[in-house]
Structure 1
Amino acid sequence: MITLPTEPLGLLALAAILVPFGGAALIAASERASAKWLCQGFAAATVAVIAILALSLLGDGKVGGTFELISFGSVSILGLVVDSVSVLIALAVIAVGLLVAVYSAAYLNAGNREHPDIGRRRFYAFLLVFIGAMTGLVFSSTVVGQLAFFELTGACSWALIGYYESPKALRSAAKALLVTHVASLGLYVAAALLFLSTGTFALTAIADLAPGMKAVVLLAILVAAWGKSAQLPFHMWLPDAMEAPTPVSAYLHAASMVKVGVYIFARGLMSAGGAPEIVGWVGSIMAVLTLVYGFFMYLPQVDLKRLLAYSTITQLAYILLALSLSVFGSDLAFKGAIAHIFNHAFAKTLFFLVAGALSYTAGTRLLPSLRGIVTKSPLLGVAFVCAALAITGVPPFNGFFSKFAIFAGGFEVGAHHWALMLLVVIALAESVGSFAWFLKWLGHSVPGKPSTTMAAAAPLPAGMKFVLVALMAMTVVSSSIAASWLG
Structure 2
Amino acid sequence: MEMIGLFTIIVPFIGALVILFSPKTSAKWICQIFAALATLGTWFLASRFFASGAETQAIPLMQIDHILIFGLVVDKVSTLIAAAVVGLGLIVTVYSLGYMSRGNKEHPHEGDPRYYIFLLIFIGAMAGLVLSSTILGQLLFFEITGACSWSLIGYYQTPIAFRSALKALIVTHIASLGLFLAAALLFVNTGTFELTAIAALDPTTKMLVMFGIMFAAWGKSAQLPMHMWLPDAMNAPTPVSAYLHAASMVKVGVYIFARGILSSGGNIPEVVGIVGIIGAMVTMIYGFLMYLPQKDMKRLLAYSTITQLAYIFLALSMAALGSSLAMDGGITYIFNHAFAKSLFFLVAGSLSYACGTRMLPQIQGLIRRSPLLGVGFCVAAMAIAGVPPFNGFFSKFPLIEAGFGLSSQYSWLTPVLILALVESVATFGWLLYWFGKAVIGEPSEVVEEISPLPVYMKVTLIVLIAMSVFSSVIASAWLS
Amino acid at match of 1:44: A
Q: Is the 8 A contact 1:24 1:128 kept in 2?
A: yes
| Aligned with 2:51 (options 41, 46, 59) | 59
Q: Deviations over 1:45-98 (max 9, x none)?
A: 111111111111111221131111111112111111111100000000011000
| Aligned with 2:324 (options 328, 331, 349) | 331
| Aligned with 1:384 (options 373, 377, 381) | 377
Q: Deviations over 1:229-287 (max 9, x none)?
A: 00000000000000000000000122211000000000000000121111000000000
Distance in structure 2 (CA, Å) of the matches to 1:211 and 1:120: 51
Distance in structure 2 (CA, Å) of the matches to 1:410 and 1:464: 39
Pairing 1:132–2:140 present: no
5 Å matches for 1:52-451? 52-273=44-265, 274-451=267-444
Distance in structure 1 (CA, Å) of the matches to 2:393 and 2:234: 26
**3-state SS of the aligned residue for 2:392?**
helix
Q: Is the 8 A contact 1:80 1:140 kept in 2?
A: yes
Q: Is the 8 A contact 1:76 1:202 kept in 2?
A: yes
Distance in structure 2 (CA, Å) of the matches to 1:475 and 1:142: 32
Q: What's the TM-score, normalizing by structure 2?
A: 0.99
How many Å apart are 1:299 and its aligned residue? 1.1
Pairing 1:25–2:33 present: no
Q: Is the 8 A contact 1:326 1:333 kept in 2?
A: yes
Q: What's the TM-score, normalizing by structure 1?
A: 0.98
Which piece of structure 1 moves more, 412-421 or 365-374? 412-421
Name segments (4+ residues, structure 1) moved above 6 Å: none
**3-state SS of the aligned residue for 1:398?**
coil
How many Å apart are 1:416 and its aligned residue? 1.8
**3-state SS of the aligned residue for 2:143?**
helix
How many Å apart are 1:312 and its aligned residue? 0.5
How many Å apart are 1:422 and its aligned residue? 1.9
Distance in structure 2 (CA, Å) of the matches to 1:366 and 1:415: 46
Amino acid at match of 1:277: E
Q: Is the 8 A contact 1:414 1:424 kept in 2?
A: no
Distance in structure 2 (CA, Å) of the matches to 1:117 and 1:59: 46
Distance in structure 1 (CA, Å) of the matches to 2:108 and 2:435: 27
**3-state SS of the aligned residue for 1:459?**
coil
Amino acid at match of 1:338: I
Q: Deviations over 1:127-153 (max 9, x none)?
A: 000000001000111111000000000
**3-state SS of the aligned residue for 1:114?**
coil
Distance in structure 1 (CA, Å) of the matches to 2:327 and 2:56: 19
How many Å apart are 1:415 and its aligned residue? 2.2
Q: Deviations over 1:151-191 (max 9, x none)?
A: 00000000000000000001000000000001110000000
Distance in structure 2 (CA, Å) of the matches to 1:327 and 1:170: 38
Amino acid at match of 2:232: D
RMSD: 0.7
Q: How many pairs align?
A: 479
How many Å apart are 1:327 and its aligned residue? 1.7
Distance in structure 2 (CA, Å) of the matches to 1:388 and 1:456: 24
Distance in structure 2 (CA, Å) of the matches to 1:253 and 1:176: 11
Query: Which residue does the alignment assign to 2:470?
Result: 477
Q: Is the 8 A contact 1:227 1:234 kept in 2?
A: yes
**3-state SS of the aligned residue for 1:449?**
coil
Distance in structure 2 (CA, Å) of the matches to 1:148 and 1:193: 17
Amino acid at match of 2:444: S
The unaligned stretches of length 5 or more in structure 1 are 1-8
Query: Which residue does the alignment assign to 1:4?
Result: none
Query: Which residue does the alignment assign to 1:6?
Result: none
Distance in structure 1 (CA, Å) of the matches to 2:63 and 2:339: 36
Q: Deviations over 1:386-422 (max 9, x none)?
A: 1111111111110100110111111111122121222
Q: Is the 8 A contact 1:10 1:82 kept in 2?
A: no
Distance in structure 1 (CA, Å) of the matches to 2:107 and 2:66: 53
Distance in structure 1 (CA, Å) of the matches to 2:52 and 2:247: 27
Distance in structure 1 (CA, Å) of the matches to 2:49 and 2:69: 25
Query: Which residue does the alignment assign to 1:44?
Result: 36
Q: Deviations over 1:321-347 (max 9, x none)?
A: 100001222111100000010001110
Distance in structure 2 (CA, Å) of the matches to 1:312 and 1:323: 17
Identical positions, percent = 59
Distance in structure 2 (CA, Å) of the matches to 1:326 and 1:428: 19
Amino acid at match of 2:298: K
Amino acid at match of 1:72: I
**3-state SS of the aligned residue for 1:272?**
coil
Pairing 1:16–2:8 present: yes
